[in-house]
Structure 1
């Protein structure tokens, strides 16, 4: 190392000592030495310009020791400023109180201490470098805070709000005479943009997670008020800080709602592919969730700035899911009831009553939500149960003994009483509009005299015009002590009064096929 280089190294060491003392809070006695540091840096800058202007070799310029003084000064300043920033617990459970205290310390202690020391650096001609390092150290710290994945939306919003506050304070300070230092606007705008990005991403993440928890297929959905809060609380919090930020957060929350509905529709489709009796209750939960989502979205259209495109998409999602799950639910009910009724009139306990009781409990739970589709759904299930019951009744082979016929008649009476009780409990007064062929058949079978049976037959033919002769014959098989003449008379009355169905309404018996069977009394084929 040459003699001049050795002197430059010694000078640099002395300069950094002076800078360190100035940063440590030394009095104004250090102003003159610090001004010497400033003059030395000016001299270095002039020499560098001269060397470059004289087209000296690049190597000699780049290895010249004073060439690194500015960089070394910046490193010294950055090291000091970074060390003055208080540490914030890096654990994932950092709460809002701790973050508020940290930001308050930055505002009340760290930033004022930098501003206080700026006067001496300004007089020494080093304010530009000093200010640049102040901005860089603070922005680096704020960027570190913003990048924390453990921070919630509300914590990120605290940082955003603090940056805006410091930006406004810096702008006001610039207007005051004698102002020496404020946090750089460009620096704060950059970190504000970065924090906003993180804030919106966190909003999407938290809203998506909350919606998944609110509409877990395996659990009851949350109340509509709670769901609306998920989608609006972040917007309201952001709007208290900045109207434009509130608009951006609202847009993100609405878009996340659409993304959730798309994924929820896929989940519903996957659910439909599964088999199992537990699907009955889960299907009702999905229908309940769709109704709740529809109600929530309707309210959001008044609270938020919902676009026409978003509205069309959401209604499309909900319509498809409701149609798919309704169809699946009714198919599941049909399969379950059909399987239970297969040997219902042969066994003492086929489990039919358990199926009805389970449906009742599911419906009553579902009905508490007062959904729009509840009544239509229960009526559709009632129609399925009645249809499958009549199918099982008319197609089940029956023995000819009087005891067997009485047992079947008693079973029909018990089943009918139970069905009436359950559907009245589920539907209330609306149960009065339900079609009840079982009651009509029961009254026909329980009527004691043939003339009375003819009279009881007439309203059946009127209400169910698709009743065929073989259906009536199967019903008469249940009747105890019915002579061949009386049977023939009833079948003739049917022939005289039956009419072709003009509409497709109430076609209960149309798809029920009853095979002619030999009569146990005469051996002929009875129709």
Structure 2
């Protein structure tokens, strides 16, 4: 009908207009007549029980195709300029249809996303090995869901840009609910699927999904980085749980090696650290299925664990050194080990450079003898690591057996000054370390 109307009006302009006097306004007469008949037909259609697709087609004709592709088409725009044809449907009827379209389209997107997740869960249950793309594990869930989202938004925006904006909020709400369901299903898989042959490959594929989801969603909605950032929280949790699952056996195997530090009074610390780093290096090739930046992030998690566990062993109050020479020897060992950890992790891809001063500056606190100099170093340390508490400091100062209780109290008092907010709260180190 629209094409017929357009072609007929073009014929009026090309063939009939030259045959009539200008005062007859022949183009306007035909356009108004066609418009009235077309509007009557549209009004009749709008009263019917329309499904989602029909509602969309009706709206896209009324709001987009008719005013833009017909009325403003190259051959007609000039001729119809100044003719007040109006809308094919009353404003209230358009609002009703738009509300119906939004409701049905969002419900459809919700249903399709749930179906996509159900199909992916079946693959996990059936122990299907995930596909590989450029050497990295992946599954189709991200692609399916983002196609569903994009299609819904594109349809709304094709009607009007404003309707596309209206679609965004409810669609983000459903997307957030979907990601929570995805996280819940993934956590159940971690609990129950460990014995499956492709368990770790599927864990890696879903961690990769987090990157694809985040990238695709932020490209579509810049606001996800600020006002709607909560939508992405399940992805952060899913990724963290996935890292924990992949690293669980490695970290358990490292634990007895770290405990040997205190048993040997740190004299063989370099040899023990060599064993620890060799074990880590042996485990890393398994994670090549991760996307590059995610593999670097995983190595960063290992980096954090190595530094944290090293500090845990220093903080166990089993080592008391009363002479400056003993303290300086330990400080040098800590410094050497810190350099070894840092260079190893950097070589393997860790970007967690915020950890670099954690051990060297503790070594400096152990090395220093003058309480005033120690206080200055502690104050600087607290600006780098605001979660460094008096309990943590007390455990480190316990190594320095020559300090009196008054001197220890005086040094600890420097932490009474607030350092909150001086460092990114996402970089937590000492909050992971319990001392007692």
Under TM normalisation by the shorter chain, which class is it?
Answer: 0.3 to 0.5
Structure with larger Rg: 1
- What's the TM-score once normalised by structure 2's chain length? 0.43
* Structure having greater relative contact order (Cα 8 Å, sep ≥ 6): 2
- What's the TM-score once normalised by structure 1's chain length? 0.36
